[in-house]
Amino acid sequence: MKLSLRGEYALRALLVLGMNTDKEVVRIQTISDEQNIPKRFLEQILNELKVAGILESRRGIAGGYRLKSAPEKITLAEVIRLIEGPLAPVSCVSEKFYEKCTCPDEAKCGIRSVMKDVREAIVKVLEQVTVAQLCDRARMLEGQVANPLDYVI
């Protein structure tokens, strides 16, 4: 699985929205500026997330987007599958997007066996991490940069 720019931007937008759940809505321009995402591209991604039921929006001058449900309920796996498609590196090991293998015998294919392990590892991580946890991790990392170690001898 390789995360495209579209997938990365979707996660970065959700990070901003997750960090701002105290606000009624977050403007597209704010997300674009904070994450350095082209506004037109961001609009497409946010609309796709809205159609999928992850976001809701409000129109007008005071309009913007917000998470439709709590950030603790939105997993990264859900978002990446929506934007990118399967999490599996090859389609013959995908549970949700399975396609027949081109190898002579799937049951005896060593490559398929390894790729299945890869898919399971990816799924295990991404299904356990929520937008809330992503926000917590970002806050922690921002705190590390803001508070560098101070050595006194």
Helix (H) or strand (E) holding 58: strand 55-58
Residues 149 and 74: their CA atoms lie apart, in Å, by 34
The pTM assigned to this predicted structure is: 0.85
Cα angle 135, 83, 81 (rounded to 5 degrees) comes to 85
Residues 134 and 53: their CA atoms lie apart, in Å, by 19
**20 closest CA partner among 64, 60, 51:** 64
Residue extents of the structural domains in the chain: 1-70, 75-129
Which tokens belong to 63?
A: 């309009």
CATH classification number, 1-70, choose in 3.60.10.10, 1.10.10.10, 3.40.640.10, 3.30.565.10: 1.10.10.10
pLDDT in tens, the chain (153 residues): 789 999 999 999 999 999 999 999 999 999 999 999 999 999 999 999 999 999 999 998 888 999 999 999 999 999 999 999 888 888 888 887 788 888 888 888 888 889 889 989 999 999 999 999 999 999 998 886 555 556 666
DSSP string computed for 95-117 = SSS----SSS-GGG-HHHHHHHH
